[in-house]
Amino acid sequence: MLTKRGKRLSAVAVLVAALVAIMIPAPLRWRAEVVLLSLAGRIPDIELTQLLAYMRPGSGQWLRPLIETHNPYAVLRNVKTTPADIQAGATLFRSQCAECHAPDGSGGRGPRLIGRQFTHGESDWAVYRTIRFGIPNTTMGPHPLPDTAVWQLEAFVRSIDTSGSTLGATARGSRGAARVPVPYDELAAIRNAGEDWLTYSGSYGSSRHSALSQINRGNVGHVALRWIHQLEGATDCVEVSPVVRKGIMFVTQPPSRVLALDATTGTEIWAYDHQVSRTVPRSDVDDFSVVANRGVAVTLPLFAIQPPVEVVAVDTAGNTVTSFTGFVTIAIGKNGGLLFPGTLSGTKTVAAVNGSATFSDLSIDQPGIGYTLVVTASSLTGAESASFNVLTPSVLP
């Protein structure tokens, strides 16, 4: 509850804000807005004094986007990155950091600082804060150095990390070859999507809700842009939800291109152009265009087991036991799945009729070599089939 005085004060504050907005010239106005936002606690993780310093002309920073984003992690950049800055950073690093991180950043008592992502935030402002304020409850203490020195340290740390490009290239090579099978059972079992996003709305329930918890209400303000992949010449509307499987993002680009991107870097792994008929209506001319599309769907085609598997109950002499009418259950015996173990789907338990059970809708979701099937039935000895192969069509380009 606001007291009378409190109400009067906040009314005055609103009035002052309005006057400030009207009276001051534009270059000052956005700065005043940033200051007001900061005073209201709406810009987290940066002190007002620092904001003021970075808003000064000549600071090299451009903070106006803070009015929309309220996010210093997305706005602040390291502007101390000249060779001289890196040199100064190197000297500081040797005296302040090398005892734990090694002079070349390869790590020792502290973690390696090259060839990996920073767990405490990758953006320039996040690394600045890590260096300046340290990491609570670890030996990484605060370094209350002048502002420029902290930026120079960061510039040096980035400069010794030349691994980014090579890592990207290896990842591209190895992942490019990888296939992305998605067993139907897995798709059907998803309630809230996790690391993978496998259907247009995340799950067949279409909740669009993610089970991931690393980004939450408390830290969503720190989320910053990591990469952009420009869809070249895509003039038609893009209405796609990218599908993500094992760190690879699949996305369509109108009218008929499918792209696989490395989800951590945005690097293109491959592109596939499908030839569509020239009579396809265009979205800018036709209301019922098929040019805009909803993206890709992933699954591995199921390999139907044909002809139907027939299991016959026999006695020790090899004669059919026609009186047997129990249930027979079938399962994979030897799992020949090449990339992942295969899963058997279809009706896996059937009742025998006249001593014979027929499984007519079985399928296996993974290509493989040397699969066997085993059958069991209560009161009878089980049996195993001869081995067979499930051969793959080319799953992806």
- Binding positions for ligand HEC, rule: CB under 6 A: 96-97, 99-101, 109-111, 113, 118-120, 127, 130-131, 135, 138-140, 143, 153, 157
Question: What separation in angstroms does the CA of 138 have from each of 107, 141, 142?
Answer: 15, 7, 10
- In total, the chain counts a number of residues equal to 397
Q: Which is nearer to ligand HEC, 113 or 375 (CB)?
A: 113
In the complex, what is the shortest distance from the CB of residue 180 to ligand HEC, in angstroms, rounded to a whole number?
A: 29
Residue whose structure tokens are 């090899």: 318
In the complex, what is the shortest distance from the CB of residue 117 to ligand HEC, in angstroms, rounded to a whole number?
A: 7
In the complex, what is the shortest distance from the CB of residue 142 to ligand HEC, in angstroms, rounded to a whole number?
A: 9
Q: Which is nearer to ligand HEC, 138 or 206 (CB)?
A: 138
Q: Which is nearer to ligand HEC, 49 or 119 (CB)?
A: 119
Q: Which is nearer to ligand HEC, 131 or 248 (CB)?
A: 131
Question: What separation in angstroms does the CA of 134 have from each of 143, 150, 195?
Answer: 7, 12, 29
- What three-state secondary structure class fits 91? helix
In the complex, what is the shortest distance from the CB of residue 107 to ligand HEC, in angstroms, rounded to a whole number?
A: 9
Chain residue at closest Cβ approach to ligand HEC: 97
User: Do residues 364 and 332 touch, judged by C-beta distance below 8 A?
Assistant: yes
In the complex, what is the shortest distance from the CB of residue 95 to ligand HEC, in angstroms, rounded to a whole number?
A: 9
User: Do residues 185 and 120 touch, judged by C-beta distance below 8 A?
Assistant: no
Q: Which is nearer to ligand HEC, 119 or 277 (CB)?
A: 119
- What three-state secondary structure class fits 142? coil
Distance CA 350, CA 216 (A): 48
Question: What separation in angstroms does the CA of 212 have from each of 195, 197, 208, 308?
Answer: 7, 11, 12, 42
Q: Which is nearer to ligand HEC, 38 or 152 (CB)?
A: 152
Kind of pairing, strands 344-345 and 356-359?
Answer: unpaired
In the complex, what is the shortest distance from the CB of residue 247 to ligand HEC, in angstroms, rounded to a whole number?
A: 19
